[in-house]
């Protein structure tokens, strides 16, 4: 306990210094680049193959233009909304990120604390480094949600369902876009494994980032998860492929709906027909997601897929968008096109790496500040006023 307190005090002092010049998520990203070893940064940054989908998640947001309305009283802007009936202070949720403790020993617990301070919801990863019980205990705001992978071991799945239910998780998000692990070539080039191999390269990276190394060594390598700490080192995709079940069908979603009586979401949908099928199976919300570009390279960006899914099921369920959100204007565009809220993943990791819990909280506060500004300039005083008529034609591509 005393060591943890010292670490937190040290983090707070270092974080205050690191956050002094942070004005955007991009600034926080630069902080994470300074804080993390290359292999860890590549693990959270990287995507599948040529990383085309990662680029699209950003560029397709940038291509959308805004059509502001003027001479409206915007002296008070209210960001509050609800997601699955839960009040939140703004339409931004924290997305699930695997092995968050590779970034900081607090991992998912640190994100849960930050999200609670901000008054919104954390969707905790089913491949996280901290237990569901620890995440729930660290949550003092809206009840957390849990992301579920339907592992081959159904006994483990039933155990997780029981633990999340008993811990008070308010909703379950079934991730459906990982029948096998995508080829993340950055990780392959770095020789990144779970658990990590100690090589001359990893030692050199650790020496270059002594603060991260000291934290990781003091944690004893905890945060690789109860499952992932066991066995011989494997690449991330190999470890995923030993756990995931490529034979899953819609029958498993129907089974899960029967096992879980609380709100159920499906995460990883890009095709309108799949969204409709999921709603027919009784889900309460659809998360439009391409897994952050980490699975199928060349897949649609989430903002491009969003309108088709809204048209297919928007009158029957809530729709959340996950992927590429870095600015308040991104959130405005997604909500105007029919999303209920947006999830942010990598930015939360940038904040955690840069300044611990304070850094992760600051990411949400930056997006809050940008969202108030964007809505004011659009002439909107509540998220319900963000409508498709505020989205203009796609911007012309620059000449090369």
Active site residues: 291
Residue 252 burial by CB count (10 A; 0-12/13-18/19+): exposed, middle or buried?
middle
Torsion of CA 270, 276, 280, 282, to 10 degrees: 40
Contact by Cβ (8 Å): 344, 301: no
Pairwise CA distance, residues 400 & 143, whole Å: 49
Task: Tell me 239's DSSP state.
Answer: H
Q: Mapping DSSP to helix (H, G, I), strand (E, B) and coil, where does residue 32 land?
A: helix
Pairwise CA distance, residues 362 & 355, whole Å: 9
As given in the structure block, the two tokens for residue 328 are 């308040």
Contact by Cβ (8 Å): 268, 278: no
Task: Tell me 91's DSSP state.
Answer: S
Task: Tell me 234's DSSP state.
Answer: E
Contact by Cβ (8 Å): 201, 167: no
As given in the structure block, the two tokens for residue 367 are 């997006």
Q: Within 13 Å and on the Cβ side, how many CA atoms surround 387?
A: 7
In angstroms, the Cα distances linking 175 to 126, 162, 181, 296 are: 9, 18, 13, 14
As given in the structure block, the two tokens for residue 171 are 């909703």
Task: Tell me 168's DSSP state.
Answer: T
Sign of CA dihedral 238, 158, 224, 353: positive
């Amino acid at each position: 306990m005393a060591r943890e307190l010292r670490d937190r005090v040290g983090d707070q002092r270092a974080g205050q210094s690191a956050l002094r010049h942070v004005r955007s998520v991009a600034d926080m990203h630069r902080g994470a680049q300074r804080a993390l070893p290359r292999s860890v940064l590549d693990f959270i940054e990287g995507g599948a193959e040529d990383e085309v989908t990662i680029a699209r998640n950003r560029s397709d947001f940038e291509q959308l233009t805004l059509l502001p309305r003027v001479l409206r009283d915007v002296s008070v802007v209210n960001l509050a909304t609800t997601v699955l009936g839960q009040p939140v202070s703004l339409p931004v949720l924290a997305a699930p990120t695997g092995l968050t403790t590779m970034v900081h020993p607090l991992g998912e617990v640190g994100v849960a604390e930050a999200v609670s301070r901000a008054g919104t919801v954390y969707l905790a990863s089913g491949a996280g480094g901290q237990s569901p019980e620890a995440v729930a205990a660290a949550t003092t705001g809206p009840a957390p949600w849990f992301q579920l992978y339907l592992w081959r071991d159904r006994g483990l799945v039933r155990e997780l369902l029981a633990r999340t239910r008993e811990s008070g998780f308010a909703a379950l998000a079934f991730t459906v876009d990982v029948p096998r692990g995508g080829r993340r070539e950055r990780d392959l080039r770095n020789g990144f494994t779970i658990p990590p191999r100690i090589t001359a390269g990893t030692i050199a990276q650790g020496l270059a980032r002594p603060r991260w190394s000291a934290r990781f060594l003091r944690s004893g390598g905890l945060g690789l998860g109860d499952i992932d700490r066991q066995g011989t080192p494997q690449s991330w995709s190999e470890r995923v492929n030993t756990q995931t079940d490529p034979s899953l069908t819609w029958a498993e979603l129907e089974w899960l709906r029967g096992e879980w009586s609380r709100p159920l979401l499906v995460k990883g949908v890009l095709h309108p027909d799949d969204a409709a099928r999921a709603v027919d199976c009784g889900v309460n919300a659809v998360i439009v997601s391409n897994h952050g570009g980490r699975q199928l390279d060349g897949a649609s960006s989430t903002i491009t897929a969003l309108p088709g899914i809204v048209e297919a099921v928007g009158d029957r369920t809530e729709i959340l968008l996950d992927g590429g959100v870095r600015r308040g204007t991104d959130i405005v565009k997604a909500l105007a096109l029919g999303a209920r809220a947006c999830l942010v993943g990598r930015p939360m990791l940038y904040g955690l790496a840069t300044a611990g819990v304070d850094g992760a909280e600051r990411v949400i506060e930056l997006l809050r500040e940008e969202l108030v500004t964007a809505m004011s300039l659009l002439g909107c005083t509540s998220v319900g006023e963000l409508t498709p008529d505020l989205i203009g034609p796609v911007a012309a591509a620059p000449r090369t």
